[in-house]
Amino acid sequence: MASTALGGAAPARAGLVHKNGTLGSSFKPSSGFMLKTSPKVGCSSLSVRASIASSPQKQYSPQTSAVKSGEEVRIAVLGASGYTGAEIVRLLANHPQFRITVMTADRKAGEQFGSVFPHLITQDLPKLVAVKDADFSDVDAVFCCLPHGTTQEIIRDLPQQLKIVDLSADFRLRDINEYAEWYGHAHRAPELQEEAVYGLTEVLRDEIRNARLVANPGCYPTSIQLPLVPLIKEKLIKLSNIIIDAKSGVTGAGRGAKEANLYTEIAEGIHAYGIKGHRHVPEIEQGLSDAAESKVTISFTPNLICMKRGMQSTMFVEMAPGVTAGDLYQHLKSTYEGEEFVKLLNGSNVPHTRHVVGSNYCFMNVFEDRIPGRAIIISVIDNLVKGASGQAVQNLNLMMGLPENTGLQYQPLFP
């Protein structure tokens, strides 16, 4: 989820142009990365890079066609002062081939990242700068963690050789008219929308591998599409009467100060919102309709719940004639057999958000409903990891020809 996926849009910045060129469509797959620098101690504060990597060996070369072991890619994180930006930094601390060289945060420009997020003070990172002042000459790939509505023009004007994973909603909807309807303004980079690849990793792996611009999925769409897409493709469930009740931790609303997110507004309760018009609805329906090869309409209610991170989606579906809940379970199990990050729980075990915190996992299970012919599917993810930054790293790994689990083998934090 981008940093404001559950909140309001920030005003877009128009006309950003970089001296290194504009983002085009002539990029060829790139590779060649050098290993991370050894730990450093700065003058004013401890600055140790927590990494499993050794000293740098080779410089990135966009002319090479395959990523080699022991090489490095230089990363820019745009919008680094939000929750998804901080998660990118946390995950990359353990990545042997990605090194952050540029970090932007307009309101925090000039500050050290460790002063914005003290829990990451040990990382050796560049100072935060405004987007307009960012120098992309020392960058090979970009994680864009800016709010929706601010991203299209910025990505359009980036140097064309960069590979980009955008965590906002700005490139998720293929239909630019549908985007305008749901987000309240015309798409500002329609030529790039044609190029963007939707980044639901386990479903669209081959397309992502060859992409230059990936639209990272939203958190709710990730938790919902991972179980439903395989079942719809196999025609195991009916396309009508799909009802989804989903709950998100408060980090899903972003880091900006909002009255609705004050402690007294959300503590000791649950808060339904966006009941008739949540902006993730068209994204979910787009993916399910692709799987069905026909239009799918869902009933979706999101809820904000008083916890920091985590997401649970409960899906109520009607099974096709002759299909049982056991058939749904077996198909999902076979679909995701061998997948590292998507797991079917055994027997009657219920997925819980506390069992995926801090990890890139999606846990799910299928239960028979007491109403004949219906089933209940529950999936859980960490909204900031598999629902945002973790899936973004997984996607960039694929784009760079690296094993997609690189830097993502954090186990869930429990208790």
* Catalytic residue annotation: 219
Q: Which of 22, 36, 103 is nearest to 73 (CA)?
A: 36
Task: Report yes or no: 404 and 396 within 8 Å, Cβ to Cβ.
Answer: no
Secondary structure tally for the chain: helices H, strands E:
11, 14
CA dist 376 → 25, 78, 279, 325 (Å): 43, 39, 24, 8
Task: Report yes or no: 193 and 170 within 8 Å, Cβ to Cβ.
Answer: no
Round to whole Å and give the CA distance between 227 and 122.
38
SS (H, E, C) 195-256: CCEECCCCCCHHHHHCCCEEECCCHHHHHHHHHHHHHHHCCCECCCCCEEEEEECHHHHCCC
Round to whole Å and give the CA distance between 353 and 217.
19
Instruction: Return all residues near 39 (Cβ < 8 A) that are at least 6 apart.
Output: 47, 48, 49, 124
Round to whole Å and give the CA distance between 34 and 30.
13
Distance of CA 318 to the CA centre of its chain: 29
